[in-house]
Amino acid sequence: MDIPPLPLIDCPPDDSVGAVSISLPADAPLITTGAVNTDCRTDGGVVTSRASVANANLLDQVTATSVGAECTANGAPTGSSAIADLVVAGTPTTVTGAPNQVVSVPGATITINRQTTTTNPDGSTTVTVDGLVASLAVGALTADAVLSSVS
């Protein structure tokens, strides 16, 4: 089962406000969260997009008190994420802040601060930051989830 990014914000340079879309399966409580926040601003040609979730819980296998991601475009785009109190399969996990940090435990692969860069047809670049990406297998259930995605 693929769970769409939660929240996802994509802020084109000519927009001052982004939109958030949340779609979760109604029949399976695979993920629970507290507050979901998004923000996108354009100020003096600098575009900043932010997304965060509080109290994330994925199948009781991955928890964090907050997962956030941020992108800034002022010429070359940059991105970062911040995760507080990450626990994977019952083990507190250190978040280094480095892009694309991978944590693997039996039944789970977690990518922290996943950053991908795309070159657009006009030669410009776009960076996408996913605060936390989880691929989980619990019994017969598998789930892929993205928390806090911005570009």
**What's the average model confidence in pLDDT over 26-40?**
75
Angle at 79 between CA 127 and CA 102, to 5 degrees: 90
How many CB atoms sit inside 10 A of residue 70's CB? Answer: 19
- Per-residue pLDDT, 16: 40
Predicted confidence (pLDDT) at residue 20 exceeds the cutoff of 60: no
Write out pLDDT tens, residues 95-150.
999 999 999 988 889 999 999 999 989 888 889 999 999 988 877 777 788 898 88
Q: Which residue has the higher pLDDT, 138 or 92?
A: 92
Sequence-distant (≥ 6) Cβ neighbours of residue 121 within 8 angstroms: none
Predicted confidence (pLDDT) at residue 4 exceeds the cutoff of 70: no
Predicted confidence (pLDDT) at residue 7 exceeds the cutoff of 70: no
Write out pLDDT tens, residues 38-90.
888 888 888 889 999 999 998 888 999 999 999 998 878 899 999 999 999 89
CB 145 within 8 A of CB 3: yes
Query: Among candidates 142, 82, 139, 149, which has minimal Cα distance to 109?
Result: 142
The predicted model scores a pTM of 0.80
